[in-house]
Chains A and B, each alone.
Chain A
Amino acid sequence: MKRDPKPATRTEEPYQPPAPFSWEERAVFRETLLFYFTQPEAATVLRKVGTLLYDMTLGACGEWPEWPESQTRSELRAAVADLFQMQGFLSSIWEDGELSAALAEDLPLCKRALDWSRVVARVAREIDGALGPIPGEV
C-alpha cells in the first residue's frame, strides 16, 4: 500500500463498496482496484463499463474454445485464483501494520486482516483440494 494513510483532502462522494450478492454487476474489476478512484462517480462508471464488458464476453464466449474441464470445475479454479489474490491483499494490510505503515488506531484492524487472510486461504485450499490437478497436468 503506497498511499498516504490519512489523506488531507476529503471527497464529498467517497468510494462506495457495492451491495452484497450483486456479484454479476461487479464481475470484472476488483473492488481493491476501484477504491483508488476517488473522483465522484468514477468507480460507479467503471463498474458499469465492467458490466458491459461482462455482457459482451458472455455473448462472444460461445464461439471460443471449450474449457479443458467442466464449467463447474473451471469456475471453481478461477475462484481459487481470486481467493489467493484476496489472501495476498489481506495479508498486505496486516503487513502494513507490522511495518508501522498504518495509523495506530488501525493496528487492531491490521491484525485482524491476518486472521481473515487465513480464512480465505483455507477456503481456497479446500476448493483446490476438492478439484485435484488439471487434466493433463501432474
Chain B
Amino acid sequence: MHELTAQFTTSLYPLPPSLYAAPPADPPAPPVPPVTPTPPEPSSPENGSQVAATPPPASPAAPPTIDPRAWEDFAAFRETFLMYFTPPGYAAALRTVGEMLHTMILESYNPWPGWPESSTRTEMRAALADLRHLQGFLASVGRERELSSLDPEDAYLSNVAAKLSRQIGHAADGIERELDGAPAAKPEGVR
C-alpha cells in the first residue's frame, strides 16, 4: 500500500518548480498554495465544483486564492467582475455557472468551425487579449490616485498598480511581437 500511495500522490506531469518560485529572489515568497502535499484538485470528485477551490473566505466579498494549476475552474468570469457580487453566495454561484459553461463548451465544440490558426496561436491571442484587459484594469486602478481622494496607503497601491500595468503591457507587447513573427526580447524579470 505504501508504494501505491506514493504512486498516486505524485502528479503525472508536474509543473516545473520555477513556475512557482520564479524569479527566486524578487519578489519574495509566492502566496500560491504549496506544491506538496498536494491538496485535492478543486474540481476533483472529492470536492465537487470549483466553488470549493478555496476554503470559504473570511468575508463573502473576498476573491478566491487561485491555484494556477486550477485555472480551468475559473475559466469564464473575470474575478475583477465577480468582485462586485458581495452578497454571500452570489459570486460562488456565478463561478459555478462559469465552470458549467466551460464544461459545456469543451463537450460541444467539435461541430463548430475551426480556427484560422493553430490552437496554440489562438490560445496565445486570447491570452494576449486578457493581458490587455488586465493592463487596462490595473491602469485604471493606477489613475484612482489622480481622480479620487485616496488615503496614503491606497495611493501607494494605486501607484503600484500603475507601474505593474506597464509591466503587463510589456509582456503583452512581447506576445504580440511573437505572434506577428517579429523576434521578441526576453520578458522583463525572467532569468
Contact = CB atoms under 8 A, between A and B. Distances in A.
B13 A95 contact: yes
Q: Is the interface of B mostly helix, strand, loop or mixed?
A: helix
A48 to B, nearest CB: 15
Interface in B163-177: 164, 167-168, 171-172, 174-175
Interface of B: 13, 15-16, 18-20, 22-23, 26-28, 30-32, 57-72, 74-87, 90, 98, 101-102, 105-106, 109, 112-141, 144, 150-151, 154, 156-158, 160-161, 164, 167-168, 171-172, 174-175, 178-179, 184, 186-190
A15 B75 contact: no
Contact of A18 (B118, B132, B150, B178): B132
Interface of A: 1-11, 14-15, 17-24, 26-39, 53-54, 57-58, 61, 64-68, 70-93, 95-99, 102-103, 105-106, 109-110, 112-123, 125-131, 134, 136-137
B130 A31 contact: yes
B127 A89 contact: yes
A72 B155 CA distance: 9
Given A32-B123, A38-B114, A130-B157, A119 B171 contact: yes
A26 B133 contact: yes
A10 B106 CA distance: 19
Nearest to B74: A85
Contact of A81 (B15, B60, B66): B66
